[in-house]
Amino acid sequence: MRLSAYFLPVLKEVPADAQIASHRLMLRAGMINQCASGLYSWLPLGQRVLSKIEKIVSEEQDKIGCHRVIMPTLQPASLWQESGRYEDYGKEMLRVKDRHDRDLLFGPTNEEVITDVVRQYIKSYRDLPQVLYQITWKFRDEMRPRFGVMRGREFLMKDAYSFDATYEGARATYQRIFESYLRTFDRLGLVAIPVKADSGAIGGDLSHEFQIMAETGESTVYYDASYDNLTPKERTFEHLQTLYAAADEKHDPDNCPVPEDRLKSARGIEVGHIFYFGKKYSEALNVKVSGTDGQHVVPEMGSYGIGVSRLVAAIIEANHDDAGIIWPDAVAPFKVALILAKTGDATCDAIVNDVYEKLQRQGIEVLFDDRDERPGAKFATMDLIGIPHHLIIGNKAIQESQLEYKNRRTGAREMINLSAIDTWIEGMRG
């Protein structure tokens, strides 16, 4: 992508009303634009990151055998009256009427809709277990939308719903999804702590939130200090069940199994939340499938959410410095920043165009700053928007056939001989 032709409205001013780093940086980097309170447009750079995260989330769901669907954004009130949640959900649910005066609502979550789908098609225990998921925009009329996309009113959520014939099956599904969440957050370069949580408006007796530690997080979590020294091998469902970690509302200081000197508390960002709620919805919506012995069974259910748009902000909270964002390679909007630091020079132009073409041919996402700007302004822009690998073409390219590489995260710089550029590009593919 040539920056001269791109839509990247970076802001010089620090937005006054943005209180946390991720919100400030997303506005400054031209990733989002506020449309109204809690409602944002995702501009090209932000959209790229959001899609990368969405892809990783969906790949990990597919890997464990979940199937992707798309459910409607608007839902009939009647389904929620069946489950009994229509009144309970309160003001967070946006209620609307259609032209026939029928009650609809803008979906804050989809337990009812998916249960309605399953009751129409799944007739036998042989068709279970089944996990269906979608990645769609939800609306919650939050009392206090804040921190940009961290707590929006419209936000992108991955929501999965599981159906099992037995209690044991449902618990095994819960565990399978729990572990896939750890892998998902791992791929996003985040360390998520699963904490025991309340199930709130979703319901049920088993629930975990996945929290990313960050000072700006809205949640408080209490956890065993040994969490800080876990090896990757120990990050399994079974082992984590032996360690204490609880959300604020679940933590009872008088009955805490961890001695005080080993109990830590920290702020966290809730990037995922999973629930086992048994037959709450399947019973209410009268779902029955035939069982092994000719009897009917009511499926056991769970639901599993990941805040996809919130993750963009959470990743920035965990990956930034004074100069701007530092994207992990896996979600970077572009992998390489190609910076022409000397403009109006035929040799530099030839080199930079050649390198740009080669990068593109190798399928490496590159943002090429071809603008007629000061080098300092170009460096600052690439630092701000967080491109992980910078390749700079300046005077040394003419005099010594050398390009400069800068790693955005470490700040390390090295010179690359023009003759070695193919190998360097090859290395970037990995």
Instruction: Please list every residue from 236 through 255 that binds ligand P5A, using CB under 6 A.
Output: none
The answer to whether 159 contacts ligand P5A (rule: CB under 6 A) is yes
Site string for ligand P5A, 100-129 (x = CB under 6 A): ---------x--------------------
Local structure of 147: helix, strand or coil: coil
Q: How many of the chain's residues bind ligand P5A (CB under 6 A)?
A: 20
Cα–chain center distance at 194: 15
Least separation in angstroms between residue 290's CB and ligand P5A is: 27
The answer to whether 66 contacts ligand P5A (rule: CB under 6 A) is no
- Closer of 150 and 387 to ligand P5A (Cβ): 150
CA distances (Å), origin 29, targets 208, 247, 380, 386, 426: 33, 33, 11, 9, 29
CA distances (Å), origin 287, targets 164, 183, 291: 12, 32, 13
- Closer of 193 and 393 to ligand P5A (Cβ): 193
Q: Please state whether the peptide bond connecting residue 129 to the residue before it is cis, i.e. omega within 30 degrees of 0.
A: yes
The answer to whether 235 contacts ligand P5A (rule: CB under 6 A) is no
Instruction: Please list every residue from 305 through 364 that binds ligand P5A, using CB under 6 A.
Output: 305, 307, 309-310
- Closer of 138 and 335 to ligand P5A (Cβ): 138
Least separation in angstroms between residue 425's CB and ligand P5A is: 37
Least separation in angstroms between residue 302's CB and ligand P5A is: 9
Give, for 423, the enclosing helix (H) or strand (E).
Answer: helix 421-429
- Closer of 318 and 366 to ligand P5A (Cβ): 318
Stretch that binds ligand P5A, among 169-177, 303-311, 322-330, 381-389 (CB under 6 A): 303-311
Least separation in angstroms between residue 207's CB and ligand P5A is: 9
The answer to whether 152 contacts ligand P5A (rule: CB under 6 A) is yes
DSSP string, 178-211: HHHHHHHHHHTT--EEEEE---TTT--SEEEEEE
Least separation in angstroms between residue 176's CB and ligand P5A is: 16
Nearest to 59 by CA among 240, 364, 330: 330
Q: For 86-95, which contacts have Cβ atoms below 8 Å and span 24 or more sequence positions?
A: 88/201, 89/201, 91/141, 91/143, 92/140, 92/141, 92/142, 92/143, 93/140, 93/141, 94/139, 94/141
The answer to whether 278 contacts ligand P5A (rule: CB under 6 A) is no
Residue in 151, 235, 389, 390 binding ligand P5A, rule: CB under 6 A: 151
Least separation in angstroms between residue 206's CB and ligand P5A is: 13
Crossing angle for the helix pair 421-429 and 346-361, to the nearest 10 degrees = 30
Least separation in angstroms between residue 360's CB and ligand P5A is: 35
Distance between first and last Cα of the chain: 20
Tell me the pairing of strands 39-42 and 32-36: antiparallel
Retrieve residue 120's tokens: 């129409």
Instruction: Please list every residue from 130 through 149 that binds ligand P5A, using CB under 6 A.
Output: 140, 142
Which residues, 6+ apart, have CB-to-CB distance to 25 below 8 Å?
Answer: 316, 320, 324, 325, 384
- Closer of 115 and 381 to ligand P5A (Cβ): 115
Least separation in angstroms between residue 307's CB and ligand P5A is: 2
Residue in 18, 202, 287, 382 binding ligand P5A, rule: CB under 6 A: 202
Largest CA distance in the chain: 84
Nearest to 268 by CA among 321, 226, 209, 327: 209
Local structure of 334: helix, strand or coil: coil
- Closer of 83 and 309 to ligand P5A (Cβ): 309
The answer to whether 46 contacts ligand P5A (rule: CB under 6 A) is no
The answer to whether 303 contacts ligand P5A (rule: CB under 6 A) is yes
Position of minimal CB gap to ligand P5A: 307
How big is the chain, counted in residues? 430
Crossing angle for the helix pair 21-28 and 308-318, to the nearest 10 degrees = 100
Residue in 304, 334, 379, 424 binding ligand P5A, rule: CB under 6 A: 304
Give me the residues that bind ligand P5A (CB under 6 A), please: 109, 140, 142, 151-152, 155, 157, 159, 202, 270-273, 275, 303-305, 307, 309-310
